[in-house]
Amino acid sequence: MENEKNHIIPYRTFLFVLAGLITLTIISVTLTQISLGTLTVAAALLIAAVKSFFVLRIFMHLKFETRMFSIGVVAVTLLITVVIIITLLDYLFR
Amino acid sequence: MVVLYHGLALLSLFTGDGPPDTGWTFYVPYSIKTGTNVTLAVSAAFILGMSSILTGINFITTIHRMRAPGMGWFRIPLFVWSLYATAWVQILATPVLGITLLLVIVERVFSVGFFDPAKGGDPILFQHLFWIYSHPAVYIMILPAMGVVTEIIPVFSRRNIFGYKAIAFSSMAIASVGYFVWGHHMFTSGMSDTARALFSFITFIVAVPSGVKVFNWVASMYKGSIRVDAPLLFVFSFIFLFSIGGLTGLINGALATNIHIHGTYFIVAHFHYVMFGGNGFAFLAGLHYWFPKMSGRLYNEKLSKIGWGFLFAGFNALYFPMFILGWQGLPRRYYDYLPKFQGLQVVSTVGSWVLVTGLIIIFWNLLRSVKKGPPSGPNPWGGTTLEWKTGSPPPDENFEEIPQVTRGPYYYREGGTTEA
Amino acid sequence: MKDTVLAGRDTAGAKLGMWLFLFTEILLFGGMFLLYAVDRAKHAAEFHAAAEGLNRFVGAANTIILLTSSLTMALSIAELRSGRRERSLMFQSLTILFGCIFLGVKYFEWTAKIGHGIFPDSPELMKLPKGQILFYGLYFVMTGLHGVHVLAGIVVLVFMLISTINRRITHHDYVRIENSGLYWHLVDLIWIFLFPLFYLIT
């Protein structure tokens, strides 16, 4: 386990990731100029999720850390999502 | 941070318009409008929350990284499992309180309008945010108490705990499922029927792991060699009183009955049974159990039982009538009450005197024994967990040499003996 | 017990503690995202209208600035671990610079809005429909809370810079700056979600 953390990510990987993130940002800006209602918002959030995935996995090193951290991130995200959904069950069905 | 909290909270008594008059739940819109010192008090609570979060981070990191050699996850004492579950709740629930308190301050200063219908907001949204923390908070309170009970039972019945993994996982289950029941504090607030049905259903589910623990505790004592010393006496009363509190929680969680008893003394009785009857008695059980370890001395056993007697009788006389009073309609948080409630109110009051007498006896016994009790030695109870293998009180760094762990925490044999 | 703990220095433990702290930050902002979700569900059309008032290109530029600062942060740590202290200092400084630029842009965005009379409880804002009042309320509070976190991050990074200069952080002992990097990336992550929710829902 200690060995994994000695892994240093090469420059190129970092630069590619940034290039990808900027591209996705630009895509989300242009895509959302088309007005498709909920679909537009969903697309924007999906792109945001993809960007987060790369920030977490590469910049924050989760790809090379013990699985526990990734499970924690997923669990916490799930927790907030479920709490928000349950709260919406109140507002949407009043 | 705890000191800072108390300092700020005390300050709120003497500055501005005086201490907050909102009630501990700070419901909007009143908490936003009142001139009393809400901002200061809420800031104090925020800082206290930060100390809770830091504790949670500390405990999880310690339990993950600093176990003794050979102590795998299923060899840690069950009290530690309960602390582990508690620490996760502290980390994941308290920040929601943080944002809620920040929003109260923001609303008081900037009047943004999140909870103001005139600006599109909703006061019930505050209640959601508030209870999303405050329900898990009660599990922060009860999980360690249950852990204490689980430690004491094997020692005083000379038997291994029944269902180690079930108890460990039930702690985690209470911590997780407990996140999704918060709406049961809000059944009469105006939430949708869908939400209310869901919250009621999940509230019934969350009672199950607690039930698992009660069954396992009782099963652990079956065919045991039971010695009813003070710690076990407090544990017995915990099981009895917490069960009453927990079962009345189900009554509260059923939608139809909740309409009748919300905001009445029935609720007050319920949470005192779980908090005081549960948490309080478990705390006293732990205090007596670990007293020799902490102080190196024994307390007076007879006095502890007399104190317990007053406490137990007084507790029930004080709080049981509240179930009846609440059912009959006595509201919470009112300054006065109708004459028909007088009788049971008097019973409660006298109960409180008896209860306090019990507390005085208990604490006088313990305080006196700190200085004057007979020396206890390292292991007066014959416990098998690691703390009993070091001095009373423990030396610096707790152990002369770091122990090597080769088996689980509870190893009582048939006949009640343990390997040395 | 791990040998690292006995030696008094547990980098894995430090990292675990930092991730746990990041979870608390996610939950803190999570409460605000809950408010956003509820308010948007109730006032979807008005949220769309209000978002027209924000400039998506300024927002995108700020997003790219923060993403780049995440890159320079990661590079600063990689350089330090590879023994190239000077280059690490350069990348740390760039990260701090980008953070300041981000805050600068936000300052101009805010003052522009406030100059037009759009701020919490302003008479101008009160004339708008309720959904728009909530949108701008959420905008100021959420980007404000985020900005406070960016500021705190910059302060921490300045401390890391100083510690790297006086060699308290080295290529052997870098867990503090690694943890600071994690915090900085989290601040970036939160903005990755704030950006579409406020600027791209027109």
pLDDT computed for residue C5 by the predictor: 63
pLDDT for residue A37 is more than 80: no
Which of residues 89 through 118 in chain C touch A, CB cutoff 8 A?
none
- CA B7 to CA B260: how far, in whole Å? 40
Distance from the Cα of B61 to chain C's closest Cα (Å) equals: 6
Give contacts of C131 with chain B, Cβ < 8 Å.
120
Give contacts of A93 with chain C, Cβ < 8 Å.
none
Mutation for C interface: B28, B58, B119, most C CBs within 10 A: B119
B132 falls within a domain: yes
User: Containing domain of residue B176, as a range?
Assistant: 2-227
Which residue on chain B is closest to C6 by alpha carbon?
B66
Q: Could you give the number of structural domains in chain B?
A: 1
pLDDT computed for residue A2 by the predictor: 47
Instruction: With beta carbons less than 8 A apart as the criterion, state whether A55 and C189 touch.
Output: yes
Report the percentage of chain B scoring pLDDT > 90. 90
Q: Where are the domains of chain C?
A: 29-199
pLDDT computed for residue A5 by the predictor: 55
Give contacts of B199 with chain A, Cβ < 8 Å.
86
How many Cβ contacts (< 8 angstroms) between chains A and C? Answer: 114
pLDDT computed for residue A33 by the predictor: 84
Lowest-pLDDT choice from A32-41, B30-39, B313-322, C159-168: A32-41
Model confidence, pTM: 0.94
Write the CB contacts of B414 (distance below 8 Å, at least 6 apart in sequence): none
pLDDT for residue B60 is more than 60: yes
Inform me whether the C-beta atom of residue B50 falls under 8 Å from chain C C-beta atoms: no
B302 falls within a domain: no
- CA C114 to CA C118: how far, in whole Å? 5
Give contacts of C202 with chain A, Cβ < 8 Å.
32-33, 35
Instruction: With beta carbons less than 8 A apart as the criterion, state whether B37 and B19 touch.
Output: yes
Are C21 and B57 inside 8 Å of each other by CB?
yes
pLDDT for residue A35 is more than 80: no
Which residue on chain B is closest to C144 by alpha carbon?
B106
Distance of CA B129 to the CA centre of its chain: 21
| DSSP per residue, B361-419 | HHHHHHHHHHHHSPB--S-TT---SGGGGS-SS--TTS-SSPPPP-S-S--PPTTS---
Are A90 and B128 inside 8 Å of each other by CB?
yes
pLDDT confidence band for B3 (50 / 70 / 90): confident
pLDDT for residue C182 is more than 60: yes
pLDDT computed for residue A6 by the predictor: 66
B102 falls within a domain: yes
Are B194 and A82 inside 8 Å of each other by CB?
no
Which residue on chain B is closest to A81 by alpha carbon?
B180
Distance of CA C179 to the CA centre of its chain: 15
| DSSP per residue, B236-284 | HHHHHHHHHHHHHHHHHHSHHHHHHHTTBHHHHHHHHIIIIIIIIHHHH
pLDDT computed for residue C151 by the predictor: 98
Of the partner residues C6, C130, C145, the one whose CB lies closest to the CB of residue B120: C130
pLDDT confidence band for C7 (50 / 70 / 90): low
pLDDT computed for residue B1 by the predictor: 77
Instruction: With beta carbons less than 8 A apart as the criterion, state whether B80 and B63 touch.
Output: yes
B416 falls within a domain: no
The packing angle between helices B265-272 and B230-253, to 10°, is: 150
State the first-to-last Cα distance of chain A, in angstroms, to the nearest integer.
51
pLDDT confidence band for C9 (50 / 70 / 90): confident
Query: Per-residue pLDDT averaged across B131-141, rounded?
Result: 97
Are B61 and C13 inside 8 Å of each other by CB?
yes
pLDDT for residue B208 is more than 70: yes
Lowest-pLDDT choice from B1-5, B229-233, B381-385, C178-182: B1-5
Say which amino acid occupies C60: A
Mutation for C interface: A12, A76, A88, A91, most C CBs within 10 A: A76
> In the beta sheet, which residues pair with residue B375?
B297
- CA B79 to CA B152: how far, in whole Å? 10
Give contacts of A8 with chain C, Cβ < 8 Å.
78, 81-82
Instruction: With beta carbons less than 8 A apart as the criterion, state whether C102 and C108 touch.
Output: no
pLDDT computed for residue C6 by the predictor: 61
pLDDT confidence band for B180 (50 / 70 / 90): very high
B161-184 in b/e form (b: 16+ CB < 10 A) is bbbbebbbebbbbbbbbbbbbbbb
pLDDT for residue C1 is more than 80: no
Identify the CATH number of the domain in which residue B180 sits: 1.20.210.10
ipTM over 0.95 threshold: no
Inform me whether the C-beta atom of residue A19 falls under 8 Å from chain C C-beta atoms: no
- CA B399 to CA C65: how far, in whole Å? 53
Write the CB contacts of C115 (distance below 8 Å, at least 6 apart in sequence): none
Domain C29-199 adopts which CATH fold? Four Helix Bundle (Hemerythrin (Met), subunit A) (1.20.120)
Give contacts of A45 with chain C, Cβ < 8 Å.
193, 196-197
**Residues C188, C108, C149, B112: is their CA dihedral positive or negative?**
negative
Are C188 and A55 inside 8 Å of each other by CB?
yes
**Residues B259, B265, B271, B273: is their CA dihedral positive or negative?**
negative
B378 falls within a domain: no
Are C67 and A15 inside 8 Å of each other by CB?
no
pLDDT computed for residue B6 by the predictor: 78
How many Cβ contacts (< 8 angstroms) between chains B and C? Answer: 104
Query: Per-residue pLDDT averaged across B341-355, rounded?
Result: 97
- CA B145 to CA B130: how far, in whole Å? 24
- CA B41 to CA B38: how far, in whole Å? 5
Q: Which residue has the higher pLDDT, B420 or B53?
A: B53
Query: Per-residue pLDDT averaged across B111-123, rounded?
Result: 95
pLDDT computed for residue C2 by the predictor: 58
pLDDT confidence band for B414 (50 / 70 / 90): low
Inform me whether the C-beta atom of residue A18 falls under 8 Å from chain C C-beta atoms: yes
Of the partner residues B128, B132, B195, the one whose CB lies closest to the CB of residue A93: B195
Instruction: With beta carbons less than 8 A apart as the criterion, state whether B56 and B91 touch.
Output: yes
pLDDT computed for residue A40 by the predictor: 82
Query: Per-residue pLDDT averaged across C59-84, rounded?
Result: 96
- CA B274 to CA B374: how far, in whole Å? 34
Computed over every residue of chain A, the mean pLDDT equals 89
The two three-digit tokens of residue B238, written as one number: 């915990």
pLDDT for residue A13 is more than 90: yes
Inform me whether the C-beta atom of residue C110 falls under 8 Å from chain B C-beta atoms: no
Of the partner residues C5, C28, C134, the one whose CB lies closest to the CB of residue B65: C5
Distance of CA B245 to the CA centre of its chain: 12
Distance from the Cα of C81 to chain B's closest Cα (Å) equals: 24
Are B191 and A90 inside 8 Å of each other by CB?
yes
Inform me whether the C-beta atom of residue A46 falls under 8 Å from chain C C-beta atoms: no
Query: Per-residue pLDDT averaged across B200-228, rounded?
Result: 96
Which residue on chain B is closest to A79 by alpha carbon?
B179
pLDDT confidence band for A3 (50 / 70 / 90): very low
B326 falls within a domain: no
pLDDT for residue B420 is more than 50: no
Inform me whether the C-beta atom of residue A52 falls under 8 Å from chain C C-beta atoms: yes
Query: Per-residue pLDDT averaged across A66-84, rounded?
Result: 95
Distance from the Cα of A8 to chain C's closest Cα (Å) equals: 6
pLDDT computed for residue B415 by the predictor: 57
Query: Per-residue pLDDT averaged across B334-363, rounded?
Result: 97
Which residue on chain A is closest to B187 by alpha carbon?
A90
Which residue on chain B is closest to C12 by alpha carbon?
B65
pLDDT for residue B325 is more than 80: yes
Of the partner residues A82, A83, A89, the one whose CB lies closest to the CB of residue B192: A89
B61-84 in b/e form (b: 16+ CB < 10 A) is bbbbbebeeebeeebbbbbbbbbb
> In the beta sheet, which residues pair with residue B264?
B331
- CA C158 to CA C92: how far, in whole Å? 8
pLDDT for residue B246 is more than 90: yes
pLDDT for residue B2 is more than 90: no
Computed over every residue of chain B, the mean pLDDT equals 94
Give contacts of B194 with chain A, Cβ < 8 Å.
89-90, 93
**Which residue, chain included where needed, has tokens 């890159």?**
C71
pLDDT digits (tens, 9 = 90+) for B250-265: 999 999 999 999 999 9
Query: Per-residue pLDDT averaged across B210-225, rounded?
Result: 95
